[in-house]
Structure formats: C-alpha cells, structure tokens
Structure 1
Amino acid sequence: MRVLVNGPASWNTLVALPHLPEPRPGMLTATTWWEGLGGTSAGKALSLARLGVPTLLRTVVGEDAAGGRVLDALRHPLLTVVAQRAPASERHLNLMAHGDRVSVYLDAPDDPGEPPDAVAAALHDADVAVLDLAAHSVPLLERARRAGTEVWCDLHDDDGVASFHEPFRAGADVVVVSADRLDDAWGYLAARVAGGARWAVATRGAQGAIALGADGRRHEVGTAHVDVVRDTNGAGDAFVAAMLTARLLGAADDEALRWGAAAGALCVASRELVAPDLSVERVRALAGTVEHRTV
C-alpha cells in the first residue's frame, strides 16, 4: 500500500494566550510559545509514515531557514518528500486559547506549477491520493480520476458553498470536514454522498465524529480520553491519517472511525503537529476505548 499526499507544509510560531485578543488595541502576555512543523499535508504525511504507510508528500518549501526546518522535521524512512522550491516557506502565527485558534499567514508561497514526474507516477501507483486544499492540488483531482486512484479530501471548515472548495467536494471519493461551520452536518454529508462520495465524515471536536456511507448507514463515534490537552493543531490530520491507515489494512467503517478518534486524541496530548509516540499499536489499543453506534 502507498499513499500520495499533496498540499501545504509550513513552519509555524505557536502562541498560547489566556484568551484570544479582542478587536481593539491592547497587550497580552503569552502563557508560552514555541515553533514547529505545521501544514495539513505535512501532518497527514508524517502521521501516515509513523503508522507504517509508505507515503510520498508533494509540497512547496522555501529556500530559507524555515524550509530547512520543515524538511528536517519531515525526515522518516517511510516518507518521501518532493519539495518544489519557492523564495519563502509558508509560515503561520497561531494564537491559541482554550482550544480556539486564530491563524495568521506570515508567508504563503506561490503556486509551484506542474508537478514533477515522480508525483505524476505516484498518482498512478498510489492506493489513495490525499489532495489537500491548495491551488496545486486542483489539477491532480482530474488526473487522479483518469488514473482510477481513490481520492480523499479534507475540506476543513467548509460551509458547503465556498467556491474554492467546490472542485474538492466534487472530486473526492472520501470527504472529511469539520462541523464547525455547518448548520446541518448530516445534510452536508448527505449532499456529498449524493454527489458521488462513497464515504463522508464530519469531525466535531470533543463531541467525536459522524459519518455517512454510500450504503446509507449513519455512524457516530465518541472521543478517546487523554489526561491533558496540550495543543489541538494537527488533530484533524491525525484523524484522517489513522482512518485511512485502518481502511488500507481492511478495517470496517466503524473501526476506521475509532482509529481516527484515537489518533486525534494522541495528537492533542502533544505540542507537536504529529504525536511522537504515534504508532499502529497505540492507536489500535486506544481505539478499543472509543464508543461507536450506528444511528
């Protein structure tokens, strides 16, 4: 089994605050701050590698110190990184308080253009292509369809009408979305299945996740317990990566959702984008504690 992941990798500055700033001049003192790997595709690719899935990540990395840190953080024997270069790496300033986050783009690299030959070949050979929200993912949606490669898209906080998300909604075989901006999460999932997706999942933070399959079955899963929540960045990427790993290993839908919940819990217990102790063994054990029901 092999997975292609296409999309952002970044080097981020993360600042923990007692509360998010109000929209007026003022001053806040950080509880703590740190720097580290960011980017939704970096999170998924490194998570997949740590879960034992050979993965190729195509991303854009700057010719700068931040780019070097990104590439160092992504080193793993099961992860191949195809980094197209730009003058500056993607960088974010993440302001965080009590699970809420405001992300400020400091630098955003330009569209890298055509993918290298290695990416085009990987798209044909992969079991699954995870095409994340980025302009350079859009051309790969049609290429994947022509190649017969299954496509997974993480639509993050899509509201169901945003034009940027439309190619990803239409091109995905499996859709994952955060329910934060959805008035009717079940309705959103039903629309994705009616549009051709065979599996649609909405994550709901501390409330777990819901999912709808092309067979009409509705699923709900809870969360896995962790003693402390240190940072929620990357939890959604861990969820997707573990769910995908479970599916590649032949797990049923309910078990794949439990794996996603377990990996998300391991992620929030760490300040790193990908939990250092992420492994199939840990995820499988924690998944056994996650509640599931068909509704």
Structure 2
Amino acid sequence: MSRDIDVLVLGGAGVDTIVYVPELPLPYADSYMIDSGIRARAGQTGDFVALGLSALGLRTHHLDLLGDDPEGELVRALHREKDIPLTAIPQPAGTKRAVNLVSPDGRRLSLYDSSRGHPDDRLPEATVRALAEASRHAHVSITQPCAHALPVLREAGVSISTDLHNWDGVNPYHESFAYAADVVFLSTTALSDPERTMRRIVDRGRAEVVVAMAGAEGAYLLADDELTRVPALTPPSPVVDSNGAGDAFAAAFLFGWLTREAPQRCARYGAVAGAHACTVPATVADAIGRDELLARVAAAEAGTTAR
C-alpha cells in the first residue's frame, strides 16, 4: 500500500484573536487601550502542528470541519500559503474560534468558543479511512469530533499521536485519546503528580512514549519504562509569546520519531522547536525549518550556540 502522506493531522483548525494585555491575570477595569492592536489570525493546535511538520519536510495533510465563514477562509488561506493540503468538511456551526490574552512575559490565557460544534458532529468515515490508508502516521487533536475517528485510524494501520494539553488526569473526555495513541503529549499544568499520570497512560493504553511538557522547566519523558527530565533550552532571542510552543514541540518530536531517532533525541528536537516558537509573535505563522532545527540540536549537544 502506498503511503504518500507522512502525517495526517486531524482536527484543531481554527482562528485565534490575539490580544496583548499589560499583565495576567488582568485586573478588572472598564476598558484597556491595546496599542499593539487586536488581530485575528488562522492557527489553532492542529494548524500549528501541521505547519511545524511541513516546515520540517514531512508530507502533511490536515483534515477538519470548517465553516463557510470569514474564519474558515483565513484557515484555508493559511494552508494555501504554506502549501499544506487541507480537506475541509462543512461545519454549519462555523469555524472554531478562540481569544488569546498574552502577557508581556509570553504567558497565555485562552478563551474558547465552544458553540462552534455539536456533539453529533462527525468526520466522514470514508474520508478518514482513505486518508489514513495513504498515511504513515496520524496526529489527532482532542477537538470534537476526532475521538470517533480513532477506531478507523487503528484499523487503517497507522501509528497515532495526540496532545492532551492541560488534562488533569481525571476528566474522562481525554481518556479515549490517551489510551489509543502510540505517542502521547500533555502539559503538567493541571497535574499534581505527572509521573503517576504518565505511567497510567502507558499501563492502560498502548503508548510507547509519553511526554509531559512543563514550559520553562522543560519536560518529562517516559520511554522504555524510564522517566527522564528533558531540560528547557534558552531561546535564541527574547521570549515574546508562548502560543504554539507545545505544538512546535510535538511536531519536532514526531519528526524525530518518524525518522527512528531515540526518544531522548526526539525530545531534544522538541525542546529546540518549542524554544524557537516562544520567540515568534502569535500574530505570525512561522515554524522552525529542518536545517535550523538540526543545527541547533547539534549546537546544544556540543554546548555551543548555533548562528
């Protein structure tokens, strides 16, 4: 069977409105003047993973529900600009939207519009199956309705990854994703004991690797039953925004994983890409390229600075 797609990305397409605020949490006031502007741009988790994978030279295809609305056109335009194939299934409720408040130190507070979808929404099984059978790997966003596609992906014989984001280890919504994926990413934000949650994912599911990202404190890597700490790397320029850092980490990790690198090296790829993403304003859709990634990883391993 021909596998012409390296990674099929499911879900996570949408538009964010970016607002740079003076601080977080934002104190109550009647109004604030936002001198930097308030901007809507295409790019939610699936878009940014697809962008990161494509920038690293992986043949990437994105599948999701999109509305016939201005926000949907922004998403389509981003994929055209970046030459990332997109299969958009009509979504009568409209394209997913969010508002991201970003503080001067790059921290983010996201407000998600949960009205843009319905519990009975589905990605067409025939479409999922056809794309999966042409793919080596599938990265599944936890957005509705991607959980329903997991059995079809497994039947098609592709490996699966997912990002649980700020899962608390308890919410049952995330479990179908956590236990169906071969590679699982999540944040430590809501976890009191990251190792316990990571090991439960492995014990109850099929994950070969679990990565818990801890922002500026680095990440935890569970592979071959061994938990190791992945140090954060100093960004190559000032931190301006943490939007998309986790997506960049996941994309670079998968680049290494799909090229059969050891998990520890995959994690270094992720750390470099995540640090790079923190230097890119959220209003800009940009991702680290393969040559720069490899150069920065080599420099980090040698204890020098890539230029």
Quick check: TM above 0.5? Answer: yes
- For 2:247 and 2:9, the matched residues in 1 are separated by 11
How high is the TM-score relative to the length of structure 1? 0.91
Q: Which residue of 2 aligns with 1:79?
A: 84
- For 1:135 and 1:28, the matched residues in 2 are separated by 34
Alpha carbons of 1:21 and 1:272: their partners in 2 closer, same or farther (altered >3 Å)? closer
> Does structure 1 retain, via aligned residues, the 8 Å contact 2:53–2:251?
yes
Classify the secondary structure of the residue corresponding to 1:240. helix
> Does structure 2 retain, via aligned residues, the 8 Å contact 1:9–1:38?
yes
Q: Which residue of 1 aligns with 2:109?
A: 102
Q: Which residue of 1 aligns with 2:130?
A: 121
RMSD: 2.2
Q: Which residue of 2 aligns with 1:40?
A: 45
- For 1:206 and 1:7, the matched residues in 2 are separated by 27
1:282-293 mapped onto 2 (5 Å cutoff): 282-290=292-300
1:1-295 mapped onto 2 (5 Å cutoff): 2-22=6-26, 24-30=28-34, 32-33=36-37, 34-75=39-80, 79-87=84-92, 88-97=94-103, 98-106=105-113, 108-111=115-118, 112-115=121-124, 117-195=126-204, 196-213=206-223, 215-226=224-235, 227-272=237-282, 276=286, 278-290=288-300
Letter in 2 for 1:251: E
Classify the secondary structure of the residue corresponding to 1:102. strand
Structure 1, residues 119-153: CA drift from partner, whole Å, max 9, x if none?
Answer: 32121232111111122211111122222321101
- For 2:28 and 2:199, the matched residues in 1 are separated by 41
Classify the secondary structure of the residue corresponding to 2:51. helix
Task: Provide the aligned length of Structure 1 versus Structure 2.
Answer: 291
Shift of 1:274: 7.1
- For 1:275 and 1:246, the matched residues in 2 are separated by 22
Unaligned runs of 5+ in 2: 303-307
Residue range with higher mean Cα deviation, 69-78 or 186-195: 69-78
Letter in 1 for 2:19: V
Shift of 1:268: 1.1
Letter in 2 for 1:75: R
How high is the TM-score relative to the length of structure 2? 0.87
Alpha carbons of 1:158 and 1:224: their partners in 2 closer, same or farther (altered >3 Å)? same
> Does structure 1 retain, via aligned residues, the 8 Å contact 2:221–2:228?
yes
Letter in 2 for 1:96: V
- For 1:95 and 1:273, the matched residues in 2 are separated by 12
- For 1:275 and 1:284, the matched residues in 2 are separated by 21
- For 1:76 and 1:22, the matched residues in 2 are separated by 35
Shift of 1:105: 2.7
- For 2:29 and 2:248, the matched residues in 1 are separated by 36
> Does structure 2 retain, via aligned residues, the 8 Å contact 1:133–1:165?
yes
Shift of 1:114: 3.6
> Does structure 2 retain, via aligned residues, the 8 Å contact 1:53–1:78?
no
- For 1:231 and 1:106, the matched residues in 2 are separated by 21
Shift of 1:102: 2.0
Alpha carbons of 1:285 and 1:193: their partners in 2 closer, same or farther (altered >3 Å)? same
Shift of 1:27: 2.9
Unaligned runs of 5+ in 1: none
Structure 1, residues 193-220: CA drift from partner, whole Å, max 9, x if none?
Answer: 112311100001011111111x222222
Identity of aligned residues (%): 32
> Does structure 1 retain, via aligned residues, the 8 Å contact 2:252–2:269?
yes
Q: Which residue of 1 aligns with 2:305?
A: none
Alpha carbons of 1:4 and 1:255: their partners in 2 closer, same or farther (altered >3 Å)? same
